[in-house]
Each structure stands twice: as structure tokens, then as C-alpha cells.
Amino acid sequence: MPRPARRNSTLPLLHLSLISLLALPAPREALAEKSATASDEMAAPFAGGWCGEARHGGQVRRLALHVPEAGDQPVTVDIPAMDAWGIAIGGLKATEAGLEIGAWPLTWEGERARLTGSLPAWLVPRRTIPVEFERCDPPAREEPDWNYPAPEIAWSLELDGAVWAGLELDRAANRVLVATVAGTLTALEMGSGERAWTWSAGGAIRAQPSVIGDAVYVASDDGRVSKLARLSGRLLWQAEIGTGPERLGPESPDSKWDRYGSSVVEAGGRLFVGSRDGALYCLDPETGERLWRFQTEDILQATPATSGERVFVASFDGGVTALSAANGEPLWRFDAQLPVPADLAVADGVVLAGSRTYDLHALAEGSGEPVWSRFFWFSWIDSPPNVVSGVAYVGSSDVLLLSALSTRTGDAVWETLLPGWSWARPAVAGGGVFTGTVGSVTYVGARAGTFVAVDRASGRIRWLYPAPAPEEGQWGFGASAAATEDLVFAADLGGRIYAFRARS
């Protein structure tokens, strides 16, 4: 399968789970420094390899430092858990306690011949996790084997733009709905891919369309929610919900990595949708009239979740809030400390919320008290969980795992290594779990854009489809897939939708 080119990169260029680096001006400046900070005499006693272990929550992850003999060369680090190797992290300099590598202080314990300290904030935000290094010959990278059977493609169709919005099934009409960043929403016949209707919004569509009753609701980046007739695509009404800040791409140091938009959900005869202006809107489904509005302190791209008379909303301000569905009055709030970008899920009495502190939180539906948290090393949780029969299926960023977790305890049923970032909601149908990965041509580790089918019971990969890699940028499958017992629908960043045979 295609592999991304391996190019030299320094840590300030990491743009995913290590984005905390970009939020910390002092470490960023220190890590960008490549000038000589130590003499060759000072560096020589520490030259060579150092292997370390970091422990948290019963989990262990290993790292390796490579200290060069020349003082004007940067120290590099290997992080096998994120398949990142040879990352330059700064020059070496002496301190009273021991060493400082870039902005990372380590203490020299001479009697034990150990370097000790804590993982730096640019690697693990909002936590103090001890790490201890000893001399070693660091292990070499083992190339994963991604040679799996290819799926059978029932049909595919070129669209007019990249697809980030999740795909939606209109099961009553036997159609699949797909939306693009060009602002086009299309209904396709599931069996053939033939277009049933097409509608154009005034802005990019990054929110999954929602089939509710006889209508399709879709939010677009022009700050509107549109209601369309489900069978014809005819526009019935539009409601203004605000536009918020401009989306900044991965090339911008100020990017929020806000790839998606909030979908519309319905409960109790009301519609709920989040907006990039930081507000949750409650709308009348018949007219689009605003019934109430709840304001947060940052953008919303997470689709809200509902249960009974409660609606749950998550914001880039780090808050997960339960509101009265009737009037928007706050009932409780949980502070996740960093952005909660992924759609929420409510199941088995808990609200599941993924945070950029590397945690998937399970919060008591009635009180917001933490029931459990699952820590994902070095990895944002931008993937919305999909809960089926007491198991939450969720992707991750730099740890490159698709996980099946117990909703009762957070324990792993299984974990499967994937070839790239899995930001989308996994689809579950029959005995399979289906999800896409996104790759990047320029990154510190190999990341490839693929679509995979995994056995639901064991986590074993059944088949894998490699998306064609471009000369530069990101590629692959960033949109949440949709699946039936027979077909799996997936759309890629190259602007093509596929219908794969589920049992390929």
C-alpha cells in the first residue's frame, strides 16, 4: 500500500496530538533553537542512547533519547507508541540538577546512572508523568505489515470536493447522503450510486446531514441550518445560527484543527445544533424559529447528544455541559481542561466525551461526575464514540489505535493498530467495524490514508483499502462512514465516494 514520504521534521511542526506545543510559547521557542548549547566536552559523557519508561494509569510507554557527541547537534527522541522516530527536540545544556534538552529538564542521578524527570507539557499536557532513562541500545523501528486483502468495490463516484462530513443513510428511501466542502449535498441510490437529487448550500458542509422524519437537516459554514424535503431535496426553510471564526488549515500555527461541524439532532419535538459562534441553538423543526440559545466561550463542532429532558453540549472551551432541553438552563458542567471537539454519545447512563488532554471521559448522565476516564498516550480523541451493546468503538490520533471499550469500566475489549489518524466515528454493522484513516506526506512518522474493516469480536483487520496518495498534504478518509449488512459507504478527501462490499 502507498506509504507517506519520510522527511526530516522538528517537533514544532507536529500538528495533531502534540498541538499543545504550539500553545506554549516558551517551549516552542526553546525547541526551535538549533544552535549549539553545549560544548563537545559537556555532551560527550551523555552521548549515545538512553531508554526510558513512563507510567500512568497502569499503562507503560517507552521512549528513547539519542544524544550526539557533538554539542552543536540536537538531541532526538523516538516515541514508538506514535510511530515517531528521530524527532529533534533541542540542544543539550548543563543545569545545577543535571541536563536540559531544549526546554525539558532532566536530573542526573549519578549513583544509579539514571536521568529522571517528567514528560514535558508539549508531549503530555495537563499531567505530570514521571520518566526515567538508562543507557541502552535503542530498538530499531519495526515496519508494520499492512498487506491485507482489498475489498470489493460495488460502485464509486467522483464528487465536487473533499468530504469531511459524515455520511448519512436514508434507509426508508434506500439512499446514502454525502456532503462536500464545495457545499453540495447529494442523495445517491445505495445499490447503484445513481444521483437521486443534489442541493447546494451557501458554504462548505462539514457536518453530517441528519435524516429526521420526512426531512433532511444540514448545517453549513455560512452559518445556516437548512431543512430539505427528504425525497426531493427541495429547500423548506433556513435558519441563521452564526458563522464564528474562519477555519484555519493545518499550515497555520493558529489552526484549531476544527475539521468538522455540528450535526442537527432532534428530541422532544425540538432541534439542537452547535455553531462556530460558540452557541448551542434550539430550533422549532416546523419553522426553524429559534426557541433558545446557550452560549459557550469557544467554537462548537461537536454534535450535541440528548437523553430524556437533557441535552449535552461540548465546546472547544473544554466544557461539557448538561442543559434543560426545554429552556437551555444549565444543569451541570464538567471541565475537561482542553477542547472537546468530537460528537458526544450517551449510553448506559454515561456521557462519553473525548478531550485533547488525551482522555475519553465517561460522565454520569445525571450529575456530570466522572465514572471513568481512559487515557490515550500522546493522542487527541477527536473521534466520536459509537456505542453498540455496551461497547464504545472509538478512533484516536497519534497513538494510531481503533479501540473497543467497555462503557461500564472503560477497559479495552481490544485495540487495533491502524496505518493513520482515525478521526471519524467508526461505523458498526453486523460483525464488522468500519473506519477510515488520514495520512500525511510530511510528518515525523508514517501516516497513510486508508479505509479498514475490522472484526467486531476480535479487532482483527479483515480488509484494507489504500487511498491514492497525493504529492503533498493530507489524504485518505476523514469522514464517518455508514454501513448496512451488505454495503459500507465511505468518502475520501480526494472527493470520491465508495460503496464497499462489507463481506469482502
Residues of the chain by 3-state class (helix, strand, coil), percent to 5: 5, 45, 50
Please, which residues have CB within 8 angstroms of residue 427's CB and are 6 or more apart in sequence?
386, 433, 434, 435, 480, 481, 482, 483, 488
| CATH 2.40.128 correct for 11-135 | yes
Q: Between 442 and 100, name the one with better pLDDT.
A: 100
Q: How far apart are the C-alpha atoms of 484 and 471, rounded to whole Å?
A: 34
The closest of 17, 11, 22 to 379, measured between CA atoms, is 17
Q: How far apart are the C-alpha atoms of 20 and 256, rounded to whole Å?
A: 11
Local confidence band at 211 (pLDDT 50, 70, 90 cut-offs): very high
Q: How far apart are the C-alpha atoms of 478 and 341, rounded to whole Å?
A: 14
Q: Which residues is 432 bridged to in the sheet?
A: 429, 455
The lowest-confidence range among 7-16, 64-73, 206-215 is 7-16
Give ∠ CA 448-453-457 in degrees, rounded to 5: 130
- Find cell 432541534 and name the residue: 271
pLDDT, one tens digit per residue, over 395-404 is 999 999 999 9
Q: How far apart are the C-alpha atoms of 91 and 71, rounded to whole Å?
A: 7
In angstroms, what CA-CA distances link 334 with 183, 282, 323, 431?
A: 34, 21, 12, 35
pLDDT surpassing 70 at residue 435: yes
Q: How far apart are the C-alpha atoms of 496 and 470, rounded to whole Å?
A: 14
Write down the pLDDT at residue 8: 36
Write down the pLDDT at residue 40: 57
Local confidence band at 495 (pLDDT 50, 70, 90 cut-offs): very high
Mean pLDDT along residues 245-252: 90
Query: pTM for the whole thing?
Result: 0.92
Indicate the residue type of 180: T
pLDDT, one tens digit per residue, over 22-62 is 333 333 333 333 333 455 566 678 889 999 999 998 899 99
Write down the pLDDT at residue 5: 37
The lowest-confidence range among 23-32, 73-82, 110-119, 292-301 is 23-32
pLDDT surpassing 90 at residue 445: no
pLDDT, one tens digit per residue, over 141-181 is 888 999 999 999 999 999 999 999 999 999 999 999 999 99
Write down the pLDDT at residue 97: 79
pLDDT, one tens digit per residue, over 287-315 is 999 999 999 999 999 999 999 999 999 99
Local confidence band at 406 (pLDDT 50, 70, 90 cut-offs): very high
| Cβ proximity of 405 and 396 under 8 Å | no
In angstroms, what CA-CA distances link 158 with 100, 234, 463, 496?
A: 52, 23, 23, 4
- In this structure, what C-alpha cell is assigned to residue 242? 452564526
Q: Do domains 11-135 and 153-501 have the same CATH topology?
A: no
The lowest-confidence range among 71-75, 214-218, 335-339, 475-479 is 71-75
SS3 of residue 439 by DSSP: strand
Tell me which fold the domain 153-501 belongs to: Methylamine Dehydrogenase; Chain H (2.130.10)
pLDDT surpassing 60 at residue 3: no
Write down the pLDDT at residue 130: 96
How much is the mean pLDDT over the chain? 91
Write down the pLDDT at residue 43: 64
Write down the pLDDT at residue 176: 98
Cα 229 to chain centroid distance, Å, stands at 32
Domain-wise residue ranges, the chain: 11-135, 153-501
pLDDT surpassing 80 at residue 439: yes
Write down the pLDDT at residue 42: 63
Residue percentage of the chain with pLDDT more than 90: 82
Write down the pLDDT at residue 306: 98
Residue percentage of the chain with pLDDT more than 70: 91
